[in-house]
Amino acid sequence: MSRLILALDVLEREKAIDIAKKTAPYLHAIKVGWPLVMNAGMEIVREISQFSRVICDFKVADIPNTTRLIVRSAKKYGASGIIVHSFVGRDSVRAAVEEAGEMDVFVVTEMSHPGALDFMQKHAEEMVKIARDEGARGIIAPATRPERLREIRKIAGELLILSPGVGAQGGKARDAIEAGADYIIVGRSIYNAENPALAAKELTEEIMGLENQ
Amino acid sequence: MSRLILALDVLEREKAIDIAKKTAPYLHAIKVGWPLVMNAGMEIVREISQFSRVICDFKVADIPNTTRLIVRSAKKYGASGIIVHSFVGRDSVRAAVEEAGEMDVFVVTEMSHPGALDFMQKHAEEMVKIARDEGARGIIAPATRPERLREIRKIAGELLILSPGVGAQGGKARDAIEAGADYIIVGRSIYNAENPALAAKELTEEIMGLENQ
Protein backbone atom coordinates (compact mmCIF):
# COMPACT_ATOMS: atom_id res chain seq x y z
CA MET A 1 0.00 0.00 0.00
CA SER A 2 1.54 3.23 -1.17
CA ARG A 3 2.30 6.00 1.26
CA LEU A 4 2.96 8.47 -1.51
CA ILE A 5 0.68 11.42 -2.35
CA LEU A 6 1.18 13.33 -5.58
CA ALA A 7 0.83 17.12 -5.37
CA LEU A 8 -0.58 17.63 -8.86
CA ASP A 9 0.43 21.27 -9.19
CA VAL A 10 -0.06 21.63 -12.92
CA LEU A 11 -2.54 24.01 -14.52
CA GLU A 12 -3.74 22.29 -17.69
CA ARG A 13 -6.61 19.82 -17.51
CA GLU A 14 -5.22 17.39 -20.11
CA LYS A 15 -1.77 17.30 -18.55
CA ALA A 16 -3.32 16.79 -15.10
CA ILE A 17 -5.47 13.87 -16.25
CA ASP A 18 -2.60 12.29 -18.17
CA ILE A 19 -0.17 12.41 -15.23
CA ALA A 20 -2.87 11.35 -12.76
CA LYS A 21 -3.78 8.26 -14.80
CA LYS A 22 -0.17 7.17 -15.28
CA THR A 23 0.90 7.64 -11.67
CA ALA A 24 -2.28 6.57 -9.83
CA PRO A 25 -1.29 2.88 -9.47
CA TYR A 26 1.71 3.92 -7.36
CA LEU A 27 -0.05 6.50 -5.20
CA HIS A 28 -2.15 6.65 -2.07
CA ALA A 29 -3.88 9.81 -3.32
CA ILE A 30 -3.59 12.84 -5.57
CA LYS A 31 -3.62 16.32 -4.07
CA VAL A 32 -5.30 19.01 -6.16
CA GLY A 33 -5.20 22.73 -5.40
CA TRP A 34 -7.02 25.93 -6.33
CA PRO A 35 -4.85 26.94 -9.32
CA LEU A 36 -5.80 23.76 -11.21
CA VAL A 37 -9.46 24.02 -10.16
CA MET A 38 -9.62 27.69 -11.20
CA ASN A 39 -8.36 26.71 -14.62
CA ALA A 40 -10.13 23.39 -15.18
CA GLY A 41 -13.21 23.68 -12.96
CA MET A 42 -14.29 21.40 -10.10
CA GLU A 43 -15.02 18.71 -12.72
CA ILE A 44 -11.31 17.91 -12.60
CA VAL A 45 -11.86 16.57 -9.07
CA ARG A 46 -14.63 14.28 -10.27
CA GLU A 47 -12.57 13.08 -13.23
CA ILE A 48 -9.48 12.22 -11.19
CA SER A 49 -11.60 10.65 -8.44
CA GLN A 50 -12.62 7.97 -10.98
CA PHE A 51 -9.17 6.38 -10.65
CA SER A 52 -7.55 7.84 -7.49
CA ARG A 53 -8.39 9.26 -4.11
CA VAL A 54 -8.41 13.06 -4.42
CA ILE A 55 -7.44 15.36 -1.58
CA CYS A 56 -8.58 18.94 -2.20
CA ASP A 57 -5.76 21.17 -0.98
CA PHE A 58 -7.99 24.18 -0.54
CA LYS A 59 -6.41 25.45 2.69
CA VAL A 60 -9.85 26.62 3.72
CA ALA A 61 -9.51 29.58 6.10
CA ASP A 62 -12.98 30.97 6.53
CA ILE A 63 -15.89 31.30 8.95
CA PRO A 64 -17.71 28.05 9.83
CA ASN A 65 -20.60 28.59 7.42
CA THR A 66 -18.44 29.23 4.35
CA THR A 67 -16.18 26.36 5.40
CA ARG A 68 -19.23 24.07 5.35
CA LEU A 69 -20.16 25.19 1.84
CA ILE A 70 -16.65 24.57 0.51
CA VAL A 71 -16.41 21.15 2.18
CA ARG A 72 -19.87 20.18 0.89
CA SER A 73 -18.92 21.08 -2.65
CA ALA A 74 -15.62 19.16 -2.54
CA LYS A 75 -17.53 16.13 -1.30
CA LYS A 76 -20.14 16.46 -4.02
CA TYR A 77 -17.39 16.34 -6.64
CA GLY A 78 -15.99 13.12 -5.21
CA ALA A 79 -13.02 14.26 -3.12
CA SER A 80 -11.87 11.78 -0.47
CA GLY A 81 -10.24 14.47 1.65
CA ILE A 82 -9.88 18.22 2.12
CA ILE A 83 -7.20 20.38 3.70
CA VAL A 84 -8.25 23.21 6.04
CA HIS A 85 -6.46 25.74 8.22
CA SER A 86 -6.99 25.78 11.96
CA PHE A 87 -5.53 29.25 12.37
CA VAL A 88 -9.04 30.61 11.84
CA GLY A 89 -10.13 28.76 14.98
CA ARG A 90 -11.66 25.68 16.48
CA ASP A 91 -15.21 26.34 15.27
CA SER A 92 -14.15 26.37 11.63
CA VAL A 93 -12.29 23.05 12.01
CA ARG A 94 -15.34 21.59 13.77
CA ALA A 95 -17.62 22.76 10.95
CA ALA A 96 -15.32 21.12 8.38
CA VAL A 97 -15.26 17.78 10.22
CA GLU A 98 -19.03 17.79 10.77
CA GLU A 99 -19.77 18.59 7.15
CA ALA A 100 -17.15 16.16 5.80
CA GLY A 101 -18.82 13.03 7.15
CA GLU A 102 -16.91 10.10 5.62
CA MET A 103 -14.53 12.44 3.85
CA ASP A 104 -11.18 13.04 5.58
CA VAL A 105 -10.26 16.44 6.96
CA PHE A 106 -6.58 17.34 7.20
CA VAL A 107 -5.48 20.37 9.19
CA VAL A 108 -2.48 22.54 8.36
CA THR A 109 -0.32 22.97 11.45
CA GLU A 110 2.98 24.06 9.92
CA MET A 111 4.11 25.19 6.52
CA SER A 112 7.50 25.11 4.84
CA HIS A 113 7.90 28.69 3.58
CA PRO A 114 9.75 31.39 5.61
CA GLY A 115 6.52 33.30 6.38
CA ALA A 116 5.22 30.33 8.37
CA LEU A 117 7.56 31.47 11.15
CA ASP A 118 5.80 34.88 11.42
CA PHE A 119 2.70 33.55 13.19
CA MET A 120 1.88 29.92 12.50
CA GLN A 121 4.80 28.09 14.05
CA LYS A 122 4.17 29.76 17.42
CA HIS A 123 0.77 28.06 17.54
CA ALA A 124 1.57 24.73 15.87
CA GLU A 125 1.09 22.60 18.99
CA GLU A 126 -2.25 24.25 19.83
CA MET A 127 -3.39 23.69 16.26
CA VAL A 128 -2.44 20.00 16.43
CA LYS A 129 -4.55 19.71 19.58
CA ILE A 130 -7.53 21.33 17.86
CA ALA A 131 -7.18 18.87 14.96
CA ARG A 132 -7.06 15.97 17.43
CA ASP A 133 -9.92 17.16 19.63
CA GLU A 134 -12.22 17.99 16.73
CA GLY A 135 -11.82 14.61 15.03
CA ALA A 136 -9.75 15.52 12.00
CA ARG A 137 -8.16 12.58 10.18
CA GLY A 138 -4.71 14.08 10.04
CA ILE A 139 -2.44 17.07 9.84
CA ILE A 140 -0.09 18.58 7.29
CA ALA A 141 3.44 19.19 8.55
CA PRO A 142 6.49 19.67 6.33
CA ALA A 143 9.34 17.24 5.82
CA THR A 144 11.75 20.15 5.55
CA ARG A 145 11.92 20.46 9.35
CA PRO A 146 12.12 16.87 10.64
CA GLU A 147 12.95 17.99 14.17
CA ARG A 148 9.61 19.82 14.29
CA LEU A 149 7.88 16.81 12.79
CA ARG A 150 9.23 14.68 15.64
CA GLU A 151 7.81 17.08 18.24
CA ILE A 152 4.45 17.12 16.50
CA ARG A 153 4.35 13.32 16.25
CA LYS A 154 4.52 13.15 20.06
CA ILE A 155 1.30 15.10 20.53
CA ALA A 156 -0.54 14.03 17.38
CA GLY A 157 -2.12 10.88 18.86
CA GLU A 158 -4.05 8.96 16.21
CA LEU A 159 -3.76 11.74 13.65
CA LEU A 160 -2.10 10.86 10.37
CA ILE A 161 0.80 13.10 9.39
CA LEU A 162 1.08 14.08 5.73
CA SER A 163 4.43 15.67 4.89
CA PRO A 164 5.03 17.91 1.90
CA GLY A 165 8.43 19.33 0.98
CA VAL A 166 10.15 16.13 -0.14
CA GLY A 167 12.19 16.35 -3.35
CA ALA A 168 12.53 19.73 -5.04
CA GLN A 169 12.03 21.60 -1.74
CA GLY A 170 14.92 19.72 -0.12
CA GLY A 171 13.15 17.39 2.34
CA LYS A 172 14.10 13.71 2.40
CA ALA A 173 11.50 10.94 2.47
CA ARG A 174 13.71 8.97 4.85
CA ASP A 175 13.92 11.84 7.35
CA ALA A 176 10.18 12.47 7.25
CA ILE A 177 9.23 8.80 7.71
CA GLU A 178 11.75 8.38 10.53
CA ALA A 179 10.38 11.51 12.21
CA GLY A 180 6.88 10.05 12.15
CA ALA A 181 5.22 11.00 8.87
CA ASP A 182 2.59 8.55 7.59
CA TYR A 183 2.38 9.87 4.04
CA ILE A 184 4.85 11.77 1.90
CA ILE A 185 3.60 14.46 -0.47
CA VAL A 186 5.73 14.95 -3.59
CA GLY A 187 5.09 17.29 -6.50
CA ARG A 188 7.67 18.45 -9.01
CA SER A 189 9.98 15.41 -8.67
CA ILE A 190 7.10 13.37 -10.09
CA TYR A 191 5.10 15.59 -12.44
CA ASN A 192 8.20 17.20 -13.95
CA ALA A 193 9.98 13.86 -14.36
CA GLU A 194 10.57 12.53 -17.85
CA ASN A 195 8.63 9.45 -16.78
CA PRO A 196 6.21 10.42 -13.99
CA ALA A 197 4.95 6.85 -13.53
CA LEU A 198 8.48 5.54 -13.04
CA ALA A 199 9.32 8.40 -10.65
CA ALA A 200 6.19 7.63 -8.59
CA LYS A 201 6.94 3.88 -8.61
CA GLU A 202 10.54 4.38 -7.46
CA LEU A 203 9.54 6.80 -4.71
CA THR A 204 6.82 4.48 -3.45
CA GLU A 205 9.28 1.57 -3.38
CA GLU A 206 11.84 3.72 -1.58
CA ILE A 207 9.28 4.58 1.11
CA MET A 208 8.22 0.93 1.42
CA GLY A 209 11.89 0.01 1.84
CA LEU A 210 12.17 2.47 4.71
CA GLU A 211 9.19 0.88 6.44
CA ASN A 212 10.71 -2.58 6.29
CA GLN A 213 14.03 -1.60 7.77
CA MET B 1 -19.98 57.10 -5.14
CA SER B 2 -21.20 54.05 -3.34
CA ARG B 3 -19.34 52.69 -0.36
CA LEU B 4 -21.35 49.49 -0.36
CA ILE B 5 -19.96 46.08 -1.33
CA LEU B 6 -22.32 43.18 -1.92
CA ALA B 7 -21.21 39.79 -0.56
CA LEU B 8 -22.81 37.68 -3.27
CA ASP B 9 -22.99 34.47 -1.23
CA VAL B 10 -25.39 32.56 -3.44
CA LEU B 11 -24.55 29.31 -5.19
CA GLU B 12 -26.49 29.35 -8.47
CA ARG B 13 -25.01 31.09 -11.48
CA GLU B 14 -28.31 32.49 -12.81
CA LYS B 15 -29.35 33.87 -9.44
CA ALA B 16 -25.89 35.39 -8.97
CA ILE B 17 -25.95 37.13 -12.36
CA ASP B 18 -29.51 38.35 -11.85
CA ILE B 19 -28.84 39.89 -8.44
CA ALA B 20 -25.49 41.28 -9.56
CA LYS B 21 -27.03 43.07 -12.56
CA LYS B 22 -29.89 44.55 -10.55
CA THR B 23 -27.78 45.79 -7.64
CA ALA B 24 -24.59 46.85 -9.46
CA PRO B 25 -25.69 50.50 -10.00
CA TYR B 26 -25.81 51.00 -6.23
CA LEU B 27 -22.58 49.21 -5.37
CA HIS B 28 -18.88 49.91 -5.20
CA ALA B 29 -18.10 46.24 -5.88
CA ILE B 30 -19.37 42.69 -5.67
CA LYS B 31 -17.55 40.17 -3.50
CA VAL B 32 -17.52 36.59 -4.79
CA GLY B 33 -16.30 33.58 -2.82
CA TRP B 34 -15.23 29.99 -3.40
CA PRO B 35 -18.63 28.32 -2.97
CA LEU B 36 -20.06 30.21 -5.96
CA VAL B 37 -16.89 29.69 -8.03
CA MET B 38 -16.85 25.96 -7.23
CA ASN B 39 -20.40 25.72 -8.50
CA ALA B 40 -20.33 28.12 -11.44
CA GLY B 41 -16.66 28.16 -12.45
CA MET B 42 -14.29 31.13 -12.65
CA GLU B 43 -16.28 32.35 -15.66
CA ILE B 44 -18.71 33.84 -13.15
CA VAL B 45 -15.99 36.34 -12.22
CA ARG B 46 -15.57 37.37 -15.84
CA GLU B 47 -19.33 37.67 -16.35
CA ILE B 48 -19.94 39.86 -13.32
CA SER B 49 -16.85 41.95 -14.06
CA GLN B 50 -18.62 43.14 -17.22
CA PHE B 51 -20.86 45.36 -15.11
CA SER B 52 -19.26 45.63 -11.64
CA ARG B 53 -15.91 45.54 -9.90
CA VAL B 54 -15.41 42.01 -8.58
CA ILE B 55 -13.45 41.27 -5.41
CA CYS B 56 -12.50 37.60 -5.15
CA ASP B 57 -12.95 36.63 -1.52
CA PHE B 58 -10.61 33.67 -1.76
CA LYS B 59 -8.96 34.14 1.65
CA VAL B 60 -5.78 32.83 0.12
CA ALA B 61 -3.65 31.20 2.81
CA ASP B 62 -0.84 29.46 1.01
CA ILE B 63 2.87 29.55 0.25
CA PRO B 64 4.06 32.46 -1.93
CA ASN B 65 4.21 30.45 -5.17
CA THR B 66 0.67 29.07 -4.92
CA THR B 67 -0.54 32.50 -3.83
CA ARG B 68 0.91 33.94 -7.04
CA LEU B 69 -0.89 31.35 -9.16
CA ILE B 70 -4.24 32.06 -7.50
CA VAL B 71 -3.82 35.84 -7.79
CA ARG B 72 -2.77 35.52 -11.45
CA SER B 73 -5.84 33.48 -12.27
CA ALA B 74 -8.23 35.89 -10.51
CA LYS B 75 -6.67 38.74 -12.49
CA LYS B 76 -6.97 36.83 -15.75
CA TYR B 77 -10.71 36.43 -15.14
CA GLY B 78 -11.16 40.16 -14.62
CA ALA B 79 -11.26 40.56 -10.83
CA SER B 80 -10.51 44.06 -9.55
CA GLY B 81 -9.43 42.81 -6.14
CA ILE B 82 -8.57 39.72 -4.12
CA ILE B 83 -8.69 38.93 -0.41
CA VAL B 84 -5.73 37.12 1.17
CA HIS B 85 -4.76 36.06 4.68
CA SER B 86 -1.62 37.38 6.31
CA PHE B 87 -1.37 34.79 9.08
CA VAL B 88 0.58 32.65 6.60
CA GLY B 89 3.23 35.35 6.73
CA ARG B 90 4.72 38.41 5.16
CA ASP B 91 6.21 36.65 2.14
CA SER B 92 2.81 35.37 1.01
CA VAL B 93 1.27 38.86 1.26
CA ARG B 94 4.24 40.28 -0.66
CA ALA B 95 3.80 37.65 -3.38
CA ALA B 96 0.11 38.55 -3.69
CA VAL B 97 0.80 42.29 -4.00
CA GLU B 98 3.61 41.78 -6.52
CA GLU B 99 1.54 39.46 -8.67
CA ALA B 100 -1.60 41.61 -8.41
CA GLY B 101 -0.14 44.64 -10.19
CA GLU B 102 -3.07 47.01 -10.76
CA MET B 103 -5.47 44.67 -8.98
CA ASP B 104 -6.18 45.49 -5.33
CA VAL B 105 -5.07 43.16 -2.54
CA PHE B 106 -7.07 43.17 0.69
CA VAL B 107 -5.69 41.46 3.78
CA VAL B 108 -7.80 39.76 6.45
CA THR B 109 -6.78 41.02 9.87
CA GLU B 110 -9.80 40.08 11.97
CA MET B 111 -12.84 37.92 11.46
CA SER B 112 -16.26 38.00 13.06
CA HIS B 113 -16.76 34.35 14.13
CA PRO B 114 -15.89 33.12 17.66
CA GLY B 115 -12.90 31.08 16.43
CA ALA B 116 -11.17 34.28 15.32
CA LEU B 117 -10.36 34.84 18.99
CA ASP B 118 -8.37 31.56 19.19
CA PHE B 119 -5.33 32.86 17.30
CA MET B 120 -6.05 35.65 14.86
CA GLN B 121 -7.09 38.48 17.14
CA LYS B 122 -3.85 38.19 19.12
CA HIS B 123 -1.94 39.10 15.97
CA ALA B 124 -4.33 41.58 14.35
CA GLU B 125 -2.12 44.62 14.81
CA GLU B 126 0.94 42.83 13.42
CA MET B 127 -1.11 41.70 10.42
CA VAL B 128 -2.29 45.26 9.76
CA LYS B 129 1.35 46.35 9.75
CA ILE B 130 2.26 43.64 7.25
CA ALA B 131 -0.60 44.77 4.99
CA ARG B 132 0.60 48.38 5.24
CA ASP B 133 4.31 47.63 4.75
CA GLU B 134 3.76 45.30 1.81
CA GLY B 135 1.59 47.72 -0.12
CA ALA B 136 -1.82 46.09 0.15
CA ARG B 137 -4.75 48.32 -0.81
CA GLY B 138 -6.77 47.59 2.30
CA ILE B 139 -7.78 45.26 5.08
CA ILE B 140 -10.89 43.35 6.08
CA ALA B 141 -12.07 43.97 9.63
CA PRO B 142 -15.57 43.26 10.92
CA ALA B 143 -18.23 45.79 11.80
CA THR B 144 -19.41 43.54 14.63
CA ARG B 145 -16.62 44.80 16.89
CA PRO B 146 -16.48 48.58 16.31
CA GLU B 147 -14.16 49.13 19.26
CA ARG B 148 -11.59 46.89 17.55
CA LEU B 149 -12.18 48.67 14.26
CA ARG B 150 -11.34 51.97 15.93
CA GLU B 151 -8.02 50.57 17.22
CA ILE B 152 -7.17 49.18 13.80
CA ARG B 153 -8.03 52.49 12.09
CA LYS B 154 -5.32 54.17 14.16
CA ILE B 155 -2.55 51.99 12.77
CA ALA B 156 -3.96 51.35 9.30
CA GLY B 157 -2.45 54.45 7.66
CA GLU B 158 -3.57 54.76 4.04
CA LEU B 159 -5.14 51.30 4.00
CA LEU B 160 -8.81 51.12 3.14
CA ILE B 161 -10.95 49.26 5.68
CA LEU B 162 -13.66 46.97 4.33
CA SER B 163 -16.12 45.88 7.03
CA PRO B 164 -18.30 42.80 6.78
CA GLY B 165 -20.86 41.82 9.39
CA VAL B 166 -23.42 44.58 8.80
CA GLY B 167 -27.07 43.49 8.70
CA ALA B 168 -27.91 39.85 9.39
CA GLN B 169 -24.77 39.40 11.51
CA GLY B 170 -25.75 42.27 13.76
CA GLY B 171 -23.24 44.99 12.85
CA LYS B 172 -24.51 48.51 12.12
CA ALA B 173 -23.34 50.52 9.12
CA ARG B 174 -23.34 53.66 11.27
CA ASP B 175 -21.05 52.12 13.90
CA ALA B 176 -18.64 50.79 11.30
CA ILE B 177 -18.40 54.09 9.38
CA GLU B 178 -17.96 56.07 12.58
CA ALA B 179 -15.24 53.67 13.71
CA GLY B 180 -13.34 54.27 10.49
CA ALA B 181 -14.56 51.80 7.87
CA ASP B 182 -14.31 52.98 4.25
CA TYR B 183 -16.57 50.35 2.73
CA ILE B 184 -19.38 48.25 4.19
CA ILE B 185 -19.83 44.66 3.06
CA VAL B 186 -23.42 43.41 3.17
CA GLY B 187 -24.73 40.02 2.09
CA ARG B 188 -28.04 38.48 3.14
CA SER B 189 -29.83 41.79 3.81
CA ILE B 190 -29.44 42.50 0.11
CA TYR B 191 -29.49 39.16 -1.75
CA ASN B 192 -32.30 37.74 0.40
CA ALA B 193 -34.37 40.93 0.18
CA GLU B 194 -37.60 40.83 -1.79
CA ASN B 195 -36.17 43.64 -3.89
CA PRO B 196 -32.36 43.41 -3.81
CA ALA B 197 -31.90 46.55 -5.93
CA LEU B 198 -34.04 48.59 -3.55
CA ALA B 199 -32.24 47.16 -0.53
CA ALA B 200 -28.87 48.07 -2.06
CA LYS B 201 -30.09 51.57 -3.01
CA GLU B 202 -31.41 52.27 0.48
CA LEU B 203 -28.26 51.01 2.17
CA THR B 204 -26.03 53.06 -0.11
CA GLU B 205 -28.10 56.17 0.59
CA GLU B 206 -27.97 55.45 4.32
CA ILE B 207 -24.16 55.25 4.19
CA MET B 208 -23.98 58.46 2.12
CA GLY B 209 -26.16 60.16 4.70
CA LEU B 210 -23.72 59.15 7.42
CA GLU B 211 -20.82 60.67 5.47
CA ASN B 212 -22.56 64.01 5.18
CA GLN B 213 -23.36 64.37 8.82
Average per-residue pLDDT in chain B?
95
* Residue among B33, B35, B118 minimizing CB distance to A89: B118
Q: What is the mean pLDDT of residues B137-141?
A: 97
* pLDDT confidence tier of residue A77, bands split at 50, 70 and 90: very high
Q: Does the predicted interface ipTM exceed a cut of 0.85?
A: yes
Q: Could you tell me which residue, B170 or B100, shows the higher pLDDT?
A: B100
Task: Please check whether the domain covering B4-211 is classified as CATH 3.20.20.70.
Answer: yes
- CA A211 to chain B, closest CA, distance in angstroms equals 30
pLDDT tens string A182-202: 999 999 999 999 999 999 999
Nearest to B113 among A35, A38, A91 (CB): A91
Instruction: Using CA coordinates, name the residue in chain A closest to B74.
Output: A38
Please give the helix or strand (H or E) that residue A140 lies within, else none: strand A138-140
CA distance B195 to chain A (A): 24
Active-site amino acid positions of A: 59
Q: What pTM did the predictor assign?
A: 0.97
Task: Measure in Å the smallest separation between the Cα of A65 and chain B Cα atoms.
Answer: 10
pLDDT in tens, B108-135: 998 989 999 999 999 999 999 999 999 9
Quick check: A211 pLDDT over 80? Answer: no
pLDDT score at B172: 86
What is the pLDDT, as a whole number, of residue B211?
Answer: 64
Nearest-CB residue to A64 (from B63, B89, B113): B113
**Segment holding A111, helix H or strand E:** none
Q: Is the pLDDT reported for residue B176 higher than 70?
A: yes
The closest CB to that of B61, out of A9, A61, A112, belongs to: A61
How much of chain A, in percent, has pLDDT values that exceed 70?
A: 99
Q: Would you name the residues of B annotated as active-site residues?
A: 59
pLDDT at B213 over 80: no
Shortest CA gap A117–chain B (Å): 7
As a three-state string, the secondary structure of chain B is CCCEEEECCCCCHHHHHHHHHHHHHHCCEEEEEHHHHHHHCCHHHHHHHCCCCEEEEEEECCCHHHHHHHHHHHHHCCCCEEEEECCCCHHHHHHHHHHHCCCEEEEECCCCCHHHHCCCHHHHHHHHHHHHHCCCCEEECCCCCHHHHHHHHHHCCCCEEEECCECCCCECHHHHHHHCCCEEEECHHHHCCCCHHHHHHHHHHHHHHHHCC
β-pairing, B104-108 vs B81-85, is parallel
Task: Compute the count of residue pairs across chains A and B with CB atoms less than 8 Å apart.
Answer: 136
Confidence (pLDDT) at A168: 73
Q: What is the pLDDT of residue A72?
A: 98
Instruction: Give the DSSP H/E element, type plus range, for residue A137.
Output: none
Average of per-residue pLDDT across B34-49: 98
Q: Does B192 touch chain A (CB under 8 A)?
A: no
Residue numbers of B between 7 and 66 with CB closer than 8 Å to A: 9, 11, 33-35, 37-39, 41-42, 58-64, 66
Average pLDDT over residues A75-87: 98
B75/B208 Cα distance (integer angstroms): 30
Cβ of B117 and A89 within 8 Å? yes
Looking at the partner chain, which of B38, B66, B92 has a beta carbon nearest the beta carbon of A33?
B66
pLDDT of residue B209: 85
Backbone φ, ψ for residue A104 (5° rounding): -80, 140
Interchain proximity B85–A112, CB inside 8 Å: no
Indicate the pLDDT class of residue A38, thresholds 50, 70 and 90: very high
pLDDT attached to residue B60: 98
Q: What percent of chain B is modeled with pLDDT above 90?
A: 87
- Contacting residues of B for A41, CB less than 8 Å apart: 41-42
What pLDDT was estimated at residue B48? 98
Chain A residues whose CB is inside 8 A of the B75 CB are none
Q: Do A89 and B120 lie within an 8 Å CB cutoff?
A: yes
Using the beta-carbon criterion (under 8 Å), do B89 and A42 form an inter-chain contact?
A: no
- pLDDT the model gives residue B166: 83
Helix (H) or strand (E) holding A88: none
**pLDDT (tens digit per residue) in A139-175:** 999 988 889 999 999 999 999 999 998 877 778 888 8
Q: How does pLDDT run across B42-65, given as a tens digit for each residue?
A: 999 999 999 999 999 999 999 999
Confidence of residue A208 (pLDDT cuts 50, 70, 90): confident
Is the pLDDT score of A205 beyond 90?
Answer: yes
Please check whether residue B126 touches A, CB under 8 A: yes
Residue B30 has pLDDT above 90, yes or no: yes
Q: Is residue A4 classed as helix, strand or coil in its secondary structure?
A: strand
A115 interfaces chain B, CB cutoff of 8 Å: yes
pLDDT of residue A213 exceeding 70, the answer is no
